[in-house]
Amino acid sequence: MSRAGLLSIEDLGRQGIVEILHLADSFAEVSERSIPKVPALRGKTVATVFFESSTRTRLSFEAAAKRLSADTMTFTAATSSVTKGESLRDTVETIDALGVDVMVVRHGSSGAPAQVARWVEAYVVNAGDGQHEHPTQALLDCFTLREAMARRAGADPVDDLAGVRIAIVGDVRHSRVARSCVLAFRALGARVVLVGPPTLLPPTTEGWGVEVVHDLDTALDEVDVCYLLRLQSERLREALLPSLGEYSERYGLTRERARRLDPDLLVMHPGPMIRGVEIAAEIASSPRSLVTRQVHNGVAVRMAVLFRLLAGDLRAPFPGMPAGAGAVEPAVRVTGGARSG
């Protein structure tokens, strides 16, 4: 049996997402302390295993592991024996043999983390695989949106995003973030519209449960949130775009477009942002932008994921996987300290 970990938002379902959000609430509180650290995962080891570049995702997982007092290991393909021809299987089996509890895997091929999970003993967390999924990005986006909605309502965060309308704009076709976000936003009750030129939208969206619109201005009139995607230039194999300038004019949140926006419209971006292409610099740093909150909240959300996998040595951590895991009481475990073994 594969005891995989977190490979897709589908491993969680609505109940699993809500559980992670609640746990992340507790860890967000830990992050505000003068010493933002709890001993919850003392004795555990988390390895980040990245075959593609990353700034925020890797640093965020490492910060999360450290705040839970886990040990960390860092593998970067560019400085490893992969450059000497070592295979993916040999590489991850080697890391596994060092005795790690979680491997956080990023890879350019869709499905690579699932394959790794079949080879190793450690839990695998998908930190972005090709054009497939990036589940922890979607979780931190749900957390951030829920926080922003609560702040606006002057109330505590609620569990769902019911009634929230979200436009996901740009290169949806090549975006793993978009796939995970559609699944997560919809699971929490939000309405999602995909916006982009036909060449940058998936060939079919049947079963996605989303609307598709090709005109950004029409979409922006009807949504609460504009979620911009980076153009995945490393995955754009054919000439799918006339020019960056034309793309920006039609699908970028330009300064001119921003002047016409509803003052309440929120803007999100998973980063890295290409300022001047999908987003004007001043919008990225304006009060309507949640970009910094997204990065900030990523640590608490990833603490929640690591904790949910490892605390109590769960073997079936998420709904949808075989039973065997007891309910986790976040408050008790977070403040109660380490469970070694």
Q: Which of residues 173-202 bind ligand NCD (CB under 6 A)?
A: 176-177
The answer to whether residue 57 forms part of the interface with ligand NCD (CB under 6 A) is: yes
CA–CA separation, 52 and 129 (whole Å): 9
CB of 230 to ligand NCD, least distance (A): 3
CA–CA separation, 272 and 194 (whole Å): 20
Strand ranges across the sheet with 102-107: 5-6, 123-129, 102-107, 45-50, 71-76
**Total residues at the site for ligand NCD (CB under 6 A)?**
10
Element (DSSP H or E) covering residue 266? strand 266-268
CB of 314 to ligand NCD, least distance (A): 26
Angle 183-185-187 from CA coordinates, rounded to 5°: 65
Give whichever of 196 and 270 is closer to ligand NCD, judged by the CB atom: 270
The answer to whether residue 130 forms part of the interface with ligand NCD (CB under 6 A) is: no
The answer to whether residue 230 forms part of the interface with ligand NCD (CB under 6 A) is: yes
Residue whose CB is nearest to ligand NCD in the complex, by number = 230
CB of 163 to ligand NCD, least distance (A): 26
DSSP string, 100-146: -SEEEEEESSTTHHHHHHHH-SSEEEEEEETTTB-HHHHHHHHHHHH
Give whichever of 26 and 137 is closer to ligand NCD, judged by the CB atom: 137
Angle 299-54-128 from CA coordinates, rounded to 5°: 80
Of 137, 144, 180, 254, the one binding ligand NCD by CB under 6 A: 137
The answer to whether residue 271 forms part of the interface with ligand NCD (CB under 6 A) is: yes
**Binding interface with ligand NCD (CB under 6 A):** 56-57, 128, 134, 137, 176-177, 230, 270-271
